Structure 1
Amino acid sequence: MTTDGLVQCSTCGVERDSADLPEWCPICVDERQYVDPGGQRWVSPPADAVIALAELESGLWGLEVSGGVGIGQLAKVVVTDAGTVMVDVPAAITADAVAAVRALGPMRAIIPSHPHMFGLQSLWSQALDDAAIYVSAADADWLGRRPAALQLWEGSIEPVPGVVASQPGGHFPGSSVVHWTGTDGAGVLLCSDTIMVNPDRRTVSFLRSYPNRLPLSAAVVERIAAHVDRYDFDRVYSNFGLRIAHDGKAAVAASARRHAAWVRGEFDHLTGPG
């Protein structure tokens, strides 16, 4: 594994070719993200990051990063008889973490849900026998480095039997979700922040920007909810450690109705005098 020619933004952690660095990280100056108050910094992947592999449920593992840079997403690894699939990508990589992921089985696909989750995808692919990296074609212009194993996609893909990725959009035009049937037979939706599990672990949110609190319209949220309605799922995981443990499909549908009603003004009477 070599990092020659690769740096990452210290704020978002996304990789970029060092030979073609802009003054500002395009991902961070976009209205969905932010530039660190200390200014733009491009850094080499830190050697002091620690990545722990934690079992979230049978057949599903999370990559918990401490130290390093970026926004701290919890990447997931789905384990199947046909191989493994990484959903979202850490903004760090270590030899120990690579060995731990390898031990779960051969990596068949790496699927970043949207540009904020690109992380160090080139290095992870390289370390995992050049595993294919599936980036939504609609979001390809956000790539600051084009991995050798890059594959652009639209619609839906099934990189291993039973693991299906599709693109409801919203947060980004190509924002994706991944559906998988857990070892107990219940459906699982890995939705990153295309759909964000709330701290109450009973509802979800739909936003254009989470750090900057920009909402999506009622029509877009209803479209996202209709898209994931194609799947049967009980559990919902987003990309910062929160999950809905039961009745996830009903929770997503009810949360979409609530969001749409609020942004249409149906609950304005609850906000005080006009």
Structure 2
Amino acid sequence: MNKVRICATCGTKYPADFNEEQCLICEDDRQYVPFGGQKWTSDSDLAQKHRVKIKQLKTNVFELIVDPVFAIGQRAILVLSKSGNILWDCIPLLDENVIEFIRGKGGIQAIAISHPHYYSNMKDWAETFDCPILLPKSEKDFIVNSTDKIQFWTADKVDFWEDIQLIRIGGHFPGSSILWLPKLNGKGIMLCGDTFNLSLSMKHFSVMYSYPNRIPLPIKDIEGIKKKIRKIEFDEIYGFWPYQNLVTEAKKILIQSLKRYK
């Protein structure tokens, strides 16, 4: 094959010069290749069968999802602020409807991504909106479609404007991160991707090396995560799937969940 391809399982977009038959993201033991084998799709096929659905979560926070669900089914979250808009995580479809919507809100000034499973077509997003992508250097080997828009960071956090911070938490990947919005609501909002995975009961969070393959984290890693979370103030958490909006007792539930790991 010598054409641009998108992995149908994880949504990662590969360039035309990628000659392997398997998705490098899905081959990693944190992800998986389906029983039926590797499957690919294309931008045109994705655009014909899907659209980007936009939903307002709060005054300055919008959810972007691929509808109907494609691949992992994650959402991206657009955060609006006077000093610049930030796209949290990435989805594998960028259509004219969402481009027009975002430009009407002032564009995107930075993209921050929780971990490699959501790199998807980040190059397209960054080049369309002419903005940088902030990625931890620890995950550079998972970048399969590079761009000069990528800026690597190696510290424990990245400071944006209006006190917004991209904070390394670890766990799922060494560079797994959260985006902390301290001024949007009460004590703040945490956007966590699947650095933390909220249960369907809305009463428990899990944190694992691999969610689909049920591979746990070492307890020493959990202890490090506990210390970091205690230092962050927040009232609400928004995760990687549309139902994962916890708007009451969010920090209490997360701390209680982490205490289960002993």
Query: Shared fold (TM-score greater than 0.5)?
Result: yes
Give the C-alpha shift of residue 248 in structure 1: 1.4
Aligned to 2:146: 146
Q: Counterpart amino acid of 1:88?
A: D
Amino acid at match of 1:14: T
1:126, distance to aligned residue in structure 2 (A): 1.5
Q: Report the aligned-residue RMSD.
A: 1.7
- Aligned length, in residue pairs: 256
User: Identity of aligned pairs, percent?
Assistant: 29
Per the normalisation by structure 2, the TM-score is 0.92
- Residue aligning to 1:171: 172
Q: Structure 1 residues 70-79 or 15-24, which shifts more?
A: 15-24
Counterpart position of 1:30:
28
Structure 1 match to 2:73: 72
- 1:109-258 equivalences under 5 Å are 109-128=110-129, 130-155=130-155, 156-241=157-242, 242-258=244-260
Relative to 1, partners in 2 of residues 1:203 and 1:237: Cα closer, same or farther, differing over 3 Å? same
Aligned to 1:268: none
**CA shift at 1:213, angstroms?**
1.3
More strand by share: 1
Task: For residue 55 of structure 1, give the secondary structure of its aligned residue in structure 2.
Answer: strand
How far off is 1:5 after superposition? 6.1
Tell me which amino acid in the other structure corresponds to 2:193.
S
The Cα offsets for residues 112-158 of structure 1, whole Å up to 9 and x where unpaired, read as 11100101111111221x11011111001000011221111122112
Residues 222, 257 of structure 1: 8 Å contact kept: no
> Please, which moves more after superposition, 38-47 or 209-218?
38-47
Which stretch of structure 1 is more off in the superposition, 140-149 or 61-70?
61-70
The residue correspondences of 1:98-113 to structure 2 (distance < 5 A) are 98-113=99-114
Contact 2:236 2:250 (8 Å CA) reproduced: yes
Contact 1:108/1:132, CA 8 A, preserved across alignment: yes
> SS state of the match for residue 146, structure 1?
coil
Moved >4 Å (runs of 4+): none
**Residue 106 of structure 1: how far off its partner (Å):** 3.0
Q: Give unpaired runs (5+ residues) of structure 1.
A: 262-274
Q: 1:19 to 1:163 in 2, by over 3 A?
A: same
Q: In the alignment, is the contact (CA less than 8 A) between 2:186 and 2:234 conserved in 1?
A: no
Q: Determine the structure 2 residue equivalent to 1:59.
A: 60
User: What SS does structure 1 have at the residue aligned with 2:123?
Assistant: helix
Deviation at 1:21, TM superposition (A): 2.9
Q: Output the TM-score relative to the length of structure 1.
A: 0.88
Indicate if the aligned counterparts of 1:87 and 1:112 stay in contact, CA closer than 8 A: yes
Paired with 1:204 and 1:100, the residues of 2 have a C-alpha distance of 33
Contact 1:197 1:237 in 2 (8 A): no
Alpha-carbon separation, structure 2, partners of 1:178 and 1:207? 19
Q: Name structure 2 gaps, 5 residues minimum.
A: none
Quickly say closer, same or farther: Cα 1:97–1:81, change in 2 above 3 A.
Answer: same
Q: Which amino acid aligns with 1:133?
A: I
